[in-house]
Amino acid sequence: MDFAPTEEQTLIAETARRIAADRLEPLAARLDRGEGRAEFLGNLSELAAQGFMGLNVRADYGGSEAGTIAFALAIQELAAGCAATAVTTSVTNMAAEVIQAVGSEEQRATYLPRICDGTYPAAAFCLTEAGAGSDPAGMVARARMEGNEWVLDGAKLYITSGEYAGLYIVWAVTDPEAPKGKGISCFLVEAGTPGLVVGKAETKMGQTGSATNEIRFEACRVPASALMGRLNDGFRTAVGELAGGRIGVASLAYGIARAAMTAAERYVKERRQFDRTIADMQGVQWMIADRETELEAARLLILQAAWLKENGRPFAREASMAKLFATEAAQRATYTALQLHGGAGYIRDLPLERHARDARITTIYEGTSEIQRLVIAREVLKAVG
């Protein structure tokens, strides 16, 4: 297995790095303070124009058709500049891939170009509910058929891009008598549909530039054609796409950690104490060595999972391994980087405390670290017996 990026993958990563440096990083601190929403949306539009909203979408639907490895590399670079923008990009790509995978030809032709070209600023993935987080099969949102329409009722929580998404992929129970997880279907709902209500934005610890909202469906009527995939088969779709989303979260965590450690390594070579730079101190060197070893392992796990997905091979176990390891490593890396800065790392003039807060959520969304361990163990034991 060759982990050297192709010429196209290198170009995509370099373009993402340039956009992150020129547009995302200068805005990140303002976004963290709740400012700069117009500029944020402008950056999303620029990313769409550069092909970053449909990295694994076929060209005939307006996508870049660059593959999962290019997607992972791009998210890493974007996250190093601004985690809030990176998570929006990652989830939008995830939504586009769901439509490409299970949508009808009409749905693909209608919605994918609007995601890829930025007509929709973002797309949202509406799965989590108050009582259905790590166990999404326990959802209670309902969809019932009335005439030639589906009527959706229920609420979804913690929806990334909730208040500015142009399209929502929504899971709801369509057969309440079916065994748990078997009577769930998937729907496409456009922003502005009557009965779709965007709730307040959550006040979060980190990634504050990315809106996270409750989305309510109050007798929300959509045409029969809004059903995506097979009736009552939506849970399988959700589980499959969550595995792909974990590659995005792992990449995002790696990008945040990479930015934090790079800043710390530059700082320790400049900061002098006891008549020498603190980079000359063995304790500091060991801290850096441990974190860099973990980040290199995380990078390789991400690439392995991305390579498997891109080549059509089973990748659920490897995606969970990458997410578990990369996100936990990011916690250690961001806190180590902050520690190496001493008191300066705790001050908001530097981005270290923001990196630490932004990284924290990565062990929770798209499946907690605990859920990843369950997935990994299940897959390992399945192979044994």
Residue 240 pLDDT: 80
pTM score: 0.95
pLDDT mean over 268-282: 92
> Taking all residues of the chain, what is their mean pLDDT, rounded to a whole number?
95
Residue 191 pLDDT: 97
Are the C-beta atoms of residues 361 and 205 closer than 8 Å to each other?
yes
The per-residue pLDDT for range 177-191, each reduced to its tens digit, is 999 889 999 999 999
Which residues are the active-site residues?
Answer: 366
Strands 142-146 and 149-160: antiparallel
Query: What domains does the chain contain, in order, with CATH numbers?
Result: 7-122 (1.10.540.10), 124-232 (2.40.110.10), 236-384 (1.20.140.10)
**Of 132-141, 183-192, 326-335, 357-366, minimum mean pLDDT range:** 132-141
| Percent of the residues in the chain that have a pLDDT greater than 70, as a whole number | 99
The burial of 181, by beta-carbon neighbours within 10 Å (0-12 exposed, 13-18 middle, 19 or more buried), is given as middle
The per-residue pLDDT for range 168-220, each reduced to its tens digit, is 999 999 999 999 889 999 999 999 999 999 998 999 999 999 999 999 999 99
Residue type, position 346, single letter: Y
pLDDT mean over 274-289: 94
Strands 167-173 and 123-126: parallel
The per-residue pLDDT for range 26-51, each reduced to its tens digit, is 999 999 999 999 999 999 999 999 99
Q: What's the residue count for the chain?
A: 385
The per-residue pLDDT for range 322-342, each reduced to its tens digit, is 999 999 999 999 999 999 999
Residue 1 pLDDT: 60
Residue 50 pLDDT: 97
Packing angle, helices 316-340 and 352-360, rounded to 10: 150
Q: What span, in angstroms and rounded, lies between the C-alpha atoms of 320 and 225?
A: 33
Residue 323 pLDDT: 98
The per-residue pLDDT for range 255-268, each reduced to its tens digit, is 999 999 999 999 99
The per-residue pLDDT for range 302-326, each reduced to its tens digit, is 999 999 999 999 999 999 999 999 9
Residue 115 pLDDT: 98
The per-residue pLDDT for range 87-113, each reduced to its tens digit, is 999 999 999 999 999 999 999 999 999
More confident residue, 290 or 272: 290
User: Is the per-residue pLDDT at 360 higher than 80?
Assistant: yes
